[in-house]
Protein backbone atom coordinates (compact mmCIF):
# COMPACT_ATOMS: atom_id res chain seq x y z
CA UNK A 1 0.00 0.00 0.00
CA UNK A 2 1.61 3.30 -1.07
CA UNK A 3 -0.81 5.24 1.21
CA UNK A 4 -1.52 4.88 4.92
CA UNK A 5 -4.47 6.31 6.84
CA UNK A 6 -3.42 8.98 9.34
CA UNK A 7 -5.34 10.97 11.95
CA UNK A 8 -5.81 14.76 12.06
CA UNK A 9 -4.39 16.01 15.38
CA UNK A 10 -5.07 19.74 15.03
CA UNK A 11 -6.17 22.39 12.52
CA UNK A 12 -5.13 26.06 12.58
CA UNK A 13 -6.83 28.65 10.35
CA UNK A 14 -4.63 31.59 9.30
CA UNK A 15 -6.91 33.51 6.96
CA UNK A 16 -10.07 32.78 4.98
CA UNK A 17 -7.77 31.31 2.32
CA UNK A 18 -5.03 29.54 4.30
CA UNK A 19 -4.87 26.99 7.10
CA UNK A 20 -2.40 24.49 8.52
CA UNK A 21 -2.98 21.08 10.06
CA UNK A 22 -1.09 18.31 11.82
CA UNK A 23 -1.40 14.58 11.14
CA UNK A 24 -0.07 11.54 12.93
CA UNK A 25 3.19 10.43 11.29
CA UNK A 26 3.17 7.04 9.55
CA UNK A 27 5.38 4.43 11.17
CA UNK A 28 8.80 4.27 9.49
CA UNK A 29 8.08 7.43 7.44
CA UNK A 30 11.46 9.07 6.74
CA UNK A 31 11.97 12.38 4.93
CA UNK A 32 14.45 15.22 4.55
CA UNK A 33 13.56 18.74 5.67
CA UNK A 34 12.22 20.64 2.64
CA UNK A 35 10.59 17.64 0.92
CA UNK A 36 6.94 17.20 -0.07
CA UNK A 37 4.60 14.22 -0.03
CA UNK A 38 1.26 13.42 -1.66
CA UNK A 39 -1.68 13.43 0.74
CA UNK A 40 -5.37 12.98 0.10
CA UNK A 41 -8.93 12.33 1.22
CA UNK A 42 -11.17 9.44 0.27
CA UNK A 43 -14.51 10.45 -1.21
CA UNK A 44 -16.93 7.65 -2.09
CA UNK A 45 -14.05 5.20 -1.99
CA UNK A 46 -11.94 7.27 -4.41
CA UNK A 47 -8.71 8.95 -3.30
CA UNK A 48 -8.28 12.62 -4.27
CA UNK A 49 -4.62 13.50 -3.62
CA UNK A 50 -2.20 16.40 -4.13
CA UNK A 51 1.45 17.14 -3.28
CA UNK A 52 2.12 19.13 -0.10
CA UNK A 53 5.42 20.33 1.31
CA UNK A 54 6.04 19.24 4.89
CA UNK A 55 6.20 22.15 7.35
CA UNK A 56 7.35 20.10 10.35
CA UNK A 57 10.95 18.99 10.79
CA UNK A 58 12.08 15.40 10.32
CA UNK A 59 12.66 14.95 14.06
CA UNK A 60 8.97 15.44 15.01
CA UNK A 61 6.48 12.64 15.61
CA UNK A 62 3.77 14.39 13.54
CA UNK A 63 3.50 15.78 9.99
CA UNK A 64 2.39 19.40 9.54
CA UNK A 65 1.13 20.95 6.29
CA UNK A 66 0.10 24.43 5.11
CA UNK A 67 -2.75 24.64 2.62
CA UNK A 68 -4.55 27.18 0.52
CA UNK A 69 -8.34 26.87 0.23
CA UNK A 70 -9.52 26.90 -3.40
CA UNK A 71 -13.36 26.98 -3.26
CA UNK A 72 -13.79 24.63 -6.25
CA UNK A 73 -10.50 22.74 -5.75
CA UNK A 74 -11.08 18.97 -5.85
CA UNK A 75 -9.05 18.46 -2.67
CA UNK A 76 -8.73 21.77 -0.81
CA UNK A 77 -12.48 22.46 -0.88
CA UNK A 78 -12.83 19.25 1.18
CA UNK A 79 -9.59 19.53 3.19
CA UNK A 80 -10.68 22.89 4.63
CA UNK A 81 -13.41 21.04 6.58
CA UNK A 82 -11.15 18.50 8.33
CA UNK A 83 -11.28 18.35 12.12
CA UNK A 84 -9.22 16.51 14.77
CA UNK A 85 -9.96 12.78 14.59
CA UNK A 86 -10.63 12.78 10.83
CA UNK A 87 -8.61 10.63 8.43
CA UNK A 88 -6.13 11.86 5.82
CA UNK A 89 -4.18 9.47 3.59
CA UNK A 90 -0.41 9.95 3.32
CA UNK A 91 1.82 8.52 0.59
CA UNK A 92 4.94 6.71 1.85
CA UNK A 93 7.36 8.28 -0.66
CA UNK A 94 8.40 11.88 0.06
CA UNK A 95 10.53 13.73 -2.52
CA UNK A 96 11.47 17.26 -3.57
CA UNK A 97 14.12 19.68 -4.77
CA UNK A 98 14.32 22.08 -1.81
CA UNK A 99 16.55 20.07 0.50
CA UNK A 100 20.06 20.97 1.66
CA UNK A 101 21.45 18.46 -0.86
CA UNK A 102 19.86 20.35 -3.76
CA UNK A 103 21.93 23.52 -3.49
CA UNK A 104 25.62 24.15 -2.86
CA UNK A 105 26.85 25.53 0.47
CA UNK A 106 27.75 29.22 0.34
CA UNK A 107 27.68 32.69 1.84
CA UNK A 108 24.01 33.78 1.82
CA UNK A 109 21.05 31.52 1.07
CA UNK A 110 18.00 33.39 -0.24
CA UNK A 111 14.68 31.58 0.26
CA UNK A 112 11.99 33.26 -1.81
CA UNK A 113 8.41 32.14 -1.10
CA UNK A 114 4.93 33.27 -2.05
CA UNK A 115 1.79 32.16 -0.21
CA UNK A 116 1.86 28.55 0.96
CA UNK A 117 5.25 28.16 -0.76
CA UNK A 118 6.57 29.05 2.70
CA UNK A 119 5.98 25.45 3.86
CA UNK A 120 9.30 23.76 2.93
CA UNK A 121 11.29 26.73 4.24
CA UNK A 122 9.61 26.42 7.66
CA UNK A 123 11.09 22.95 7.88
CA UNK A 124 14.54 24.13 6.75
CA UNK A 125 14.91 27.22 8.95
CA UNK A 126 14.38 25.06 12.05
CA UNK A 127 17.19 22.69 11.02
CA UNK A 128 20.57 23.51 12.65
CA UNK A 129 22.33 21.92 9.64
CA UNK A 130 21.16 24.87 7.50
CA UNK A 131 23.15 27.39 9.54
CA UNK A 132 26.29 25.31 9.34
CA UNK A 133 26.20 25.57 5.52
CA UNK A 134 25.50 29.31 5.14
CA UNK A 135 26.67 32.46 6.90
CA UNK A 136 23.31 34.15 6.38
CA UNK A 137 19.84 32.86 5.55
CA UNK A 138 17.29 35.31 4.10
CA UNK A 139 13.65 34.16 4.16
CA UNK A 140 11.29 36.32 2.09
CA UNK A 141 7.57 35.54 2.35
CA UNK A 142 5.27 37.45 -0.02
CA UNK A 143 1.49 37.36 0.46
CA UNK A 144 -1.50 39.50 -0.49
CA UNK A 145 -3.01 40.04 2.96
CA UNK A 146 -1.35 40.34 6.40
CA UNK A 147 -3.39 37.40 7.76
CA UNK A 148 -1.71 35.14 5.18
CA UNK A 149 1.71 35.62 6.84
CA UNK A 150 1.50 32.14 8.34
CA UNK A 151 3.96 31.27 11.13
CA UNK A 152 5.10 34.89 11.40
CA UNK A 153 5.28 34.86 15.21
CA UNK A 154 7.09 31.51 15.22
CA UNK A 155 9.70 32.73 12.71
CA UNK A 156 10.33 35.94 14.66
CA UNK A 157 10.60 33.92 17.89
CA UNK A 158 13.47 31.84 16.45
CA UNK A 159 15.66 34.83 17.29
CA UNK A 160 18.55 33.55 15.18
CA UNK A 161 21.27 36.08 14.30
CA UNK A 162 21.97 34.28 10.99
CA UNK A 163 18.32 34.40 9.87
CA UNK A 164 16.82 37.48 8.20
CA UNK A 165 13.01 37.30 7.88
CA UNK A 166 11.41 39.64 5.33
CA UNK A 167 7.60 39.46 5.19
CA UNK A 168 5.98 41.42 2.32
CA UNK A 169 2.28 42.17 1.81
CA UNK A 170 1.17 43.38 -1.61
CA UNK A 171 -2.52 44.30 -1.15
CA UNK A 172 -2.73 45.86 2.31
CA UNK A 173 -0.70 48.58 4.00
CA UNK A 174 2.46 47.05 5.44
CA UNK A 175 6.09 48.20 5.96
CA UNK A 176 7.15 46.22 2.85
CA UNK A 177 4.64 46.10 -0.01
CA UNK A 178 6.92 45.06 -2.90
CA UNK A 179 6.91 41.49 -4.20
CA UNK A 180 9.85 39.52 -2.81
CA UNK A 181 11.03 38.54 -6.29
CA UNK A 182 11.17 42.21 -7.31
CA UNK A 183 13.12 43.14 -4.16
CA UNK A 184 15.62 40.37 -4.89
CA UNK A 185 15.96 41.21 -8.59
CA UNK A 186 16.45 44.95 -8.05
CA UNK A 187 19.17 44.40 -5.44
CA UNK A 188 17.06 46.28 -2.87
CA UNK A 189 16.73 43.19 -0.68
CA UNK A 190 20.43 42.65 0.03
CA UNK A 191 20.95 46.43 0.25
CA UNK A 192 18.28 46.86 2.94
CA UNK A 193 19.71 43.96 4.94
CA UNK A 194 23.26 45.25 4.63
CA UNK A 195 24.40 42.12 2.79
CA UNK A 196 26.64 41.88 -0.30
CA UNK A 197 24.78 41.91 -3.64
CA UNK A 198 23.72 38.35 -4.63
CA UNK A 199 26.53 36.68 -6.56
CA UNK A 200 26.26 33.22 -8.17
CA UNK A 201 29.78 32.39 -7.08
CA UNK A 202 29.11 32.89 -3.37
CA UNK A 203 25.34 32.94 -2.82
CA UNK A 204 22.46 30.49 -3.28
CA UNK A 205 18.73 30.77 -4.01
CA UNK A 206 15.72 28.54 -3.31
CA UNK A 207 12.31 29.41 -4.81
CA UNK A 208 8.85 28.06 -3.96
CA UNK A 209 5.38 29.40 -4.67
CA UNK A 210 3.44 30.94 -7.51
CA UNK A 211 4.40 29.07 -10.73
CA UNK A 212 4.63 32.27 -12.81
CA UNK A 213 6.92 33.92 -10.22
CA UNK A 214 9.06 30.77 -10.04
CA UNK A 215 9.49 30.61 -13.85
CA UNK A 216 10.17 34.33 -14.15
CA UNK A 217 12.79 34.35 -11.40
CA UNK A 218 14.46 31.18 -12.71
CA UNK A 219 14.83 32.87 -16.14
CA UNK A 220 16.26 36.01 -14.53
CA UNK A 221 18.83 33.98 -12.58
CA UNK A 222 19.85 31.90 -15.61
CA UNK A 223 20.27 35.06 -17.70
CA UNK A 224 22.52 36.45 -14.96
CA UNK A 225 24.75 33.36 -15.02
CA UNK A 226 23.25 31.30 -12.20
CA UNK A 227 22.97 27.50 -12.60
CA UNK A 228 19.91 25.50 -11.61
CA UNK A 229 20.33 22.16 -9.84
CA UNK A 230 19.42 19.36 -12.27
CA UNK A 231 20.37 15.80 -13.19
CA UNK A 232 23.65 17.34 -14.41
CA UNK A 233 24.62 18.34 -10.87
CA UNK A 234 24.03 20.60 -7.89
CA UNK A 235 23.83 24.27 -8.82
CA UNK A 236 23.58 27.58 -7.01
CA UNK A 237 19.78 27.79 -7.19
CA UNK A 238 16.85 25.38 -7.01
CA UNK A 239 13.07 25.64 -7.47
CA UNK A 240 10.17 23.42 -6.46
CA UNK A 241 8.38 22.50 -9.66
CA UNK A 242 5.86 20.18 -7.97
CA UNK A 243 4.45 23.17 -6.12
CA UNK A 244 2.12 23.87 -9.06
CA UNK A 245 -0.22 21.18 -7.77
CA UNK A 246 -0.78 22.99 -4.47
CA UNK A 247 -2.94 25.45 -6.37
CA UNK A 248 -5.30 22.91 -7.89
CATH architecture designation of domain 100-247: 3-Layer(aba) Sandwich (3.40)
Residue whose C-alpha is closest to residue 77's, from 107, 48, 116, 112:
48
What integer is the mean pLDDT of 133-137? 98
For residue 177, give Cα distances in angstroms to 18, 42, 145, 162, 181: 20, 40, 10, 24, 12
The yes/no answer on whether domain 3-91 falls in CATH 2.40.30.10 is yes
For residue 189, give Cα distances in angstroms to 49, 91, 126, 170, 216: 37, 38, 22, 16, 17
Task: Provide the residue ranges of all domains of the chain, joining segments of one domain with +.
Answer: 3-91, 100-247
- Longest distance between any two alpha carbons in the chain, whole Å: 55
Tens digit of each residue's pLDDT (9 = 90 or more) over 142-158: 999 999 999 999 999 99
What integer is the mean pLDDT of 122-140? 98
Question: Distance between alpha carbon 227 and the CA centroid of its chain, in Å?
Answer: 21
Q: How far apart are CA 8 and CA 10, in angstroms?
A: 6
User: What average pLDDT does the chain have?
Assistant: 95
What integer is the mean pLDDT of 57-80? 95
Tens digit of each residue's pLDDT (9 = 90 or more) over 108-129: 999 999 999 999 999 999 999 9
Q: What pLDDT is recorded for position 91?
A: 97
Helices (H) and strands (E) in the chain, counts: 7, 11
pTM of the model: 0.95
Q: Which residues pair with 140 in a beta bridge?
A: 112, 166
Amino acid sequence: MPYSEQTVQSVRPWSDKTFSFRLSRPQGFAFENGEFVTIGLKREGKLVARAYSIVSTADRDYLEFLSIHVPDGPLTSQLVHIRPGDSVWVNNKPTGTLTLNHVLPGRTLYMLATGTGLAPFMSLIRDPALYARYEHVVLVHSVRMVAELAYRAEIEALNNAQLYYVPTVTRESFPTTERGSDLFRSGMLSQRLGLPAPDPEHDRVMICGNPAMTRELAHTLKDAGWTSTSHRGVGNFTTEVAFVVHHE
